[in-house]
């Protein structure tokens, strides 16, 4: 058991050195509004955290490659491949660490106020 714990700790330490990667695929104005649509792929390696944050608009998320989420209260939650979530304007979400040995990979679509920050750190 100790050997497994050491290996798991080593894997998390190594993976934590990898960075969360956000690749913007497309950005365009939303017709007739002062908003824009941003399509991106976000990959969070094992051991990395996604801090609590909100957006100046709506965010739709589709999980391309699922992972285990480690929540602040110590519990675990599966975020499976194929899951979909909609995060509404100004409501904080995130605040988890990716556990296990697989990265979390998501397709995100944001419809947000043009000229404002995409990500607003939670207070």
Closest to 65 in 3D by CA, of 26, 97, 98: 98
Split into its structural domains, the chain has a count of 1
Contact criterion met (CB below 8 Å) for 46 and 105: no
For the stretch 2-48, pLDDT in tens is 343 333 343 444 444 579 999 999 999 999 999 999 999 999 999 99
CATH number for the domain including 29? Answer: 2.60.120.10
Q: Which residues partner with 97 through β-bridges?
A: 49, 70
Q: What is the pLDDT of residue 7?
A: 35
Q: Terminus-to-terminus CA distance in the chain, angstroms?
A: 39
Tokens 């497994």 found at: 4
Contact criterion met (CB below 8 Å) for 38 and 24: yes
Q: What is the pLDDT of residue 16?
A: 46
Average pLDDT, stretch 69-91?
Answer: 96
Domain hosting residue 35, numbered range: 2-121
């Amino acid at each position: 058991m100790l050997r497994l714990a050491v290996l798991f700790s080593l894997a998390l330490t190594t993976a934590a050195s990898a960075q969360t990667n956000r690749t913007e695929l497309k950005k365009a104005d939303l017709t007739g509004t002062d908003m824009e649509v941003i399509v991106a792929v976000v990959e969070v390696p094992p051991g990395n955290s996604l801090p609590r944050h909100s957006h100046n608009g709506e965010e739709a998320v589709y999980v391309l490659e699922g992972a285990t989420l480690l929540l602040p209260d110590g519990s675990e939650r599966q975020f499976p491949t194929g899951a979909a979530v909609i995060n509404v304007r100004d409501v904080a979400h995130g605040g988890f660490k990716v556990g296990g040995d697989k990265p979390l990979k998501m397709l995100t679509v944001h419809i947000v106020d043009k000229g404002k920050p995409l990500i607003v750190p939670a207070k």
